[in-house]
Structure 1
Amino acid sequence: MKIFEEIESEVQSYARSFPRVFNKAQGEFLYDEEGNQYLDFLAGAGTLNYGHNNPVFKEKLLEYIHQDGITHGLDLHTKAKGEFLESFNEKILKPRNLEYVMQFTGPTGTNAVEAALKLTRNIKGRENIIAFTNGFHGVSLGSLSATGNSHHRGAAGVSLSGTSRMPYDGYLGDHIDTTIYLDKVLTDSSSGIDKPAAVIVETVQGEGGINAASFEWLRNLEKICRKHDVLLIVDDIQAGCGRTGTYFSFEEAGIYPDIITMSKSLGGYGLPFAVVLIRPELDHWKPGEHNGTFRGNNFAFVTAKAAIDHYWADNQFSKQVKKKGEYVSQRLNTIVDQYGDGNFTTRGRGMFQGINCVNGELAEKITRSAFKQGLIIETSGADDQVVKLLCPLIISEENLTRGIDIIENTIREVCAKEDSIPAQKKYFNVKRLAS
C-alpha cells in the first residue's frame, strides 16, 4: 500500500472505502493479493454489467489482438467498428423500432454528455438546459453544470452556468407531479427560466440516490418537451445496457428520446467507450466539431459487439434480469419491513435498487461491515445515505442471494448496536448529520 500513499493523489475515492490491493477478478468476484475473495456489488460503478473478464468477450478480444487488429483508429472506418454498428442496429435499434445515428465521443460518459449538450444548443440556438435535482451527468464543466451534487460542483473553481434546475419526480412528495411545474415555467414568459434547448434526465438517478422516475412522469416530460419545442436527452450511461431489465431504461415508459448518451457497460468488458445516439434529422454536426483522440477504441468495439450478440439477440437475458430484479425487490422489502422502524426505505427498479437509510452515517456502517464480510458495495445520494446494489447482471442466483444475505446480516448487526445507544445520543447524531 505504500506506493499508493506516496504517489497517488488525494482525489482517490473508492480505494478509501475498500483499502486492499486487488489483482484478479472473474464474474461477480474480486480477489486481493492475499487471495481473499470479495463478492462485487459495485461492478465498476455500473461498468461491468456482464461481470469481470467475461469469458465470451475475452475469447473474442484475444482473437482480435492475436490477429493484429486495429487498436487505435481515431474515427477511421475499421472492420471492428463496422461490425459493432451492424450488430447494434440489427439487434438493438431495429427490434425496438428506433432510428438513431451514432456519434463516437471521447471514451467517458461525461464526454458524451458534453457532446449532447453542445449539439442541442447548436440545433436550437439557445443556451439554457433543464436539469433535475439530484441528477448526475459527469464532472467536466459542461456536464457538471447539469449535475446537482454540491460536493462535485464545489470543486469546479468557476461558476457553473447555462442550466436551470427543476424538481425530479418525487422530490416534492409522492403525490406531486413536478412536470406540471416545468410546464408552467416554460409557459410563463415571466418565470425567469429562459426557454431551453433541451431537457436532460436519468430515468433512474444512480449517483443521486437510486431515485426512479415513474413511467407516467417520463411520458409527461416527453409531452412537455414536444409542446415547447425542447429536445429530450436521456442519460442512460448507468441505467442503460440492461440494468433496469430492458436494454434502454426508458423502453417500458414508451418514450422516444431525441438524444441518448451511453457509456459504462456499453463496452461490455470494462473497456472505455461512450456514444451519443442522435435522431437522424438532428445530426447537425460539421466534420470534427466535436472530436477526441480516443473516440475509436476498437477493442471496445469488439467486446461491445460480443455483448450484444451473446446477450441481446433475443429477450431471454432481459427476462433473467427482470426475474432477478423481482427477487431483489422482494428481499429488500422484507428487510425493510423487518428492520426498518423508520430507518430504511427501498428505491429503484430492476437490478438498479438500493436501501435508503435515515442518514449517511448509518449507510456507511452497513457498507463497512459488509466489506468485512466479503461484500463490496457502495453508497450514493446527496448525503451518501443510500446503500446501492449494483452487482453484475450475470450474477448467479446463489451469489445474488448470498450478497443480499450479507446486507441483511449487516443491517441486523448495525441495528442491534444502534438500539444499544441511548436515545438522546442517537437523536443527537441524526440531527448533527442533518445540519
Structure 2
Amino acid sequence: MSKLNLTDLIDKAQEFGAEDVEFYYEISEDNSIEVYEGEVESLESAHSKGLGIRVFVEGKMGFAYTTNFNDGVIEKVIKEAIANAKIAVEDEHRTLANGDYDYKELDIYNPQFSESSVEDKIDLILKMEKAALEYSDKIESVISAGYGDNISEITIANSKGLNQSYKSNTCYAYLYVMASEGEEKQTASALSYGRSLDDVAPVQTGEEAAENAIKLLGGKQVNSQEAPVIFTPEVGSMFLYLLASALTAEAVQKGRSLFVDKLNEVVAANKVNIIDDGTLEAGLATAPFDDEGVPCAPTNIIEDGVLKNYLYDIYTANKDKVESTGNAQRSYRGIPNVAPSNFYLAAGEEKPVDIIGGVENGFYVHKVIGLFSGSNTISGDFSVGATGQWIENGEIKQAVSEVTIAGNLIDFLKDIEELGDDLKFNPMVGSFGSPTFKVKKLAISGS
C-alpha cells in the first residue's frame, strides 16, 4: 500500500543514532461541495500526504514531520527528529507499540466509492434541498446544503516489528434550514453519512431537517421548575462528547476530570452502559488499530452504572501500569494523544413514543446552545440554553424556547430512568452516539 519503504527508513534512522523509531504515513483525499438555491456555490478537492517521525534516544523522544518526499529530505527530517530527542526531557512512559498484535478484519473501505461522479454528488444535494423545501410551506429557505467525503490510507511501522496499514472512506451530506411562521423564525439541521452514496438518504435527510425546524415554531417560555427531561439522540450525543473528554486517562491523570478517583464506583444509573468501540463497522472512527498500532476493541467505560475504565493510549497506560485501550489519535503533523473512537450510550428497549407517553409533565429537548462553554468537566456542573417541546399527560403540547437547563453530570447520569431503542450517531460532533433517554429531573429556568 505504501510507496515508501518504511523498513529501509527504520534501518536508516537507527544508522543515524536512533535507538527506536516509528513512522506514521498518511495519505488522504477530501472533497466538499456546497449548494445554495439549486446552484453549486463551491466545489473543493484536497489531497495531502505526510510522514510523521518519532525517534527515541536514551529514553528521550524527538519528533519531526515532512510533506516533502524528494531525495534526501526524509533523511534530513530523521536527523532533525534525533536532534530534537537529544534536547528533550527523558520520560520512561514514552514507548512504542509491539509488533505482535492480532487485528480484526473490518469492512471500512468501499472500493467502488472512488467511481462516484461529481454529478452524482451534486444531484444528491439537490434532492435533499428539494425535499426540505417541498416538505411544508413553512420552510422559508435552505440556509446551507452540502456534501463531503474522505478517503484515507494509514501506514504505521516501527523498530519493534510493527508494520501495518489500512484504507477507509466515509461520505456525508448535511442540510441547515429555516422555518417561519409570522415574524418567528426557527432553524434546524440534519445529516446522513455512510461509506457509499447509497448510504446517504437525501430525501429523508431533507425532510428530517424541515420537520425539526417546524417543531420549534411557536416556542414559549415555561415556568421555572424541576421536571423530567427527555433528550433526542442528537442532543444526547453532544452530552456523550462532553463526557468523553472527562473520561480520557490524560484528563484524569492531570486532575481535570470529575471522574478522578472514581474507578469502580457507581457513577450512573444501573441501566447505563457507555462504550467506546473502534471496531464498530458503522462508525466514523472505525479502524483495525489506533494511531500507534494498538488494536482497536470495544471498551466498557461505564458498565451497569459502574465506572470500569478510562480511555488510554500507550503513554497514559504506562503511567497507570495498564494496557492501552487502543485510543491513540494523531495526524502525521503531531504525536499521539488519547481520544475516543466510536463513543456511545448503549440503547435500551423502550420506544421513544412510549418514553414520551410516560411523562406527566416534562421537557423534550431538541436543541441545546452553549453546551461546551456552559459546562465544567471538572466539577460536572452545566447550564445551557435549550429549545424543544413541552409534554403534558404523555402528549406533546407546545414548543418551548428561551429556557435554560442546569444540573451536574454525575447526578444527570444517575438520574437516567429510560433508554430508547433508537441509538444514533451524530457526526456533527464526531463519532458519538446516543438513544433517546429520559432524566428524572433537571432544573429548568424560564419565566
TM-score normalised to structure 2 length: 0.26
More helix by share: 1
Larger radius of gyration: 2
TM-score normalised to structure 1 length: 0.26
